[in-house]
Structure 1
Amino acid sequence: MSEKTSALRMARYNSWQNNAMISAANQLPMRERQRDFGTFFKSIEATFSHLYWADQTWLARFGVGAPLGLGLPESTGLIHDWDLFQSDRQALDQQIFDWVEGLDETWFSGTLSWYSGALGRDMVRPHAQVLAHIFNHQTHHRGQIHAMLSMAGVNSGVTDLAFMPE
């Protein structure tokens, strides 16, 4: 399987799982979505917000869209309107898919240079590694969202990549 084919699969998985987690979160009142569950970013909404921020930040580093102009500490406070967030998240997931679809195989052998505010230094990494990180980061934090939803008594459904609908 080519790197592009794999990346497209992960972009589809990202969208599928974001939709599933958001649908599950819709079963909860706002106070439950904002409840401190003791996880890294504390709440379901804050974790969704961080993922939205991170995806936009990484896309901007690749020249797709504009950065939000916020750092990691502000990444958890972007959701002020849950309904608007849902449509914005869907649009961002489509943007990610469209961007990956537009890449050619030679892109994966390139490198990305950026300044990491989290580490406080300049970074250089292969495109393929950074893209794998983006999808892994999404999966990691959605796992936290899944756990919080479970603690709140909500079943978010199947999360396994092998069972993603075609």
Structure 2
Amino acid sequence: MNQFLRYLTAQAYNNAWANHRLLRACSRLSQEEFELATRTSFFPSIKATLNHKLTVDWFYIDAMERAARGDEPHPDYCAAFFEPEEPFATCAGLWAAQKSSDQRLIAYCRQLDEATLVRDVGILRDHGLMLDTPARLLAHLFQHQVHHRGQVHAMLAGTAVEAPQLDEFYSRGEAEDRAHDFAELGFAERDVWGV
């Protein structure tokens, strides 16, 4: 696998790892802190922010999977991915759905090849069909995840739950620091880096 494809796969694993750490922390909140406590950010609660992050994942992952199979773009993306706007009321339900979404993203990145990376992905939007490559869509999706995880991380500062370390990546010397999380996720260093 070339280095760029390996990098995208590593980003998908890092995304899943960061989501796991963040949602583990959020699972320690009371339902009121998770759902009802007003927070300062783009969305007014941790629940709303995490639901938004997940539904956007669904939207883009579905589009990329469809293109990889040679299928047409989803004909009714609003109803399929954004209605209801907040499909999960509890952190437990959201965490399970996020984990499933993260596994789909990893699987998608693992099957990428150089030809697929530059093939157009069609996405229907309000203004019509949008075409973009998986490389650009993945860059957008990873940035979207980082952006909203950062917001939730900051929101946690207003609670008694300690916000987890999220800005560490996969340095060789830090393998022991992530070993417990990787064991919970079923990840191995070789899965991420291929060596």
TM-score range relative to shorter protein: 0.7 to 0.9
Deviation beyond 4 Å, 4+ runs, structure 1: 64-68, 70-74
Partner of 1:37: 39
Quote the Cα distance in structure 2 between the aligned partners of 1:74 and 1:147: 25
Identity %: 25
- Which AA in structure 1 matches 2:169? A
Partner of 1:98: 107
Partner of 1:23: 24
Quote the Cα distance in structure 1 between the aligned partners of 2:84 and 2:40: 18
- Which AA in structure 2 matches 1:21? L
Quote the Cα distance in structure 1 between the aligned partners of 2:28 and 2:7: 32
| Of 78-87 and 36-45, the range deviating more from structure 2 | 78-87
| Of 60-69 and 2-11, the range deviating more from structure 2 | 60-69
Partner of 1:146: 153
Could you tell me which runs of 5 or more consecutive residues in structure 1 were left unpaired when the two chains were aligned.
none
Return the offset for 1:68. Answer: 7.0
With structure 2 as the length reference, what TM-score do the two structures score? 0.74
State whether structure 2 residue 114 is matched by structure 1 residue 112.
no
- Which AA in structure 2 matches 1:22? L
- The alignment yields a C-alpha RMSD, in angstroms, of 2.4
Larger radius of gyration: 2
Could you tell me which runs of 5 or more consecutive residues in structure 2 were left unpaired when the two chains were aligned.
172-177, 179-188, 190-195
With over 3 angstroms needed to count, the CA separation of the structure-2 counterparts of 1:153 and 1:82, relative to structure 1, is closer
Partner of 1:86: 95
Quote the Cα distance in structure 2 between the aligned partners of 1:13 and 1:132: 13
Q: Would you say the 8 A contact 1:15–1:93 is kept in 2?
A: yes
SS at match of 2:38: coil
Partner of 1:63: 65
State the aligned residue count: 163
Return the offset for 1:142. Answer: 0.5
- Which AA in structure 2 matches 1:125? D
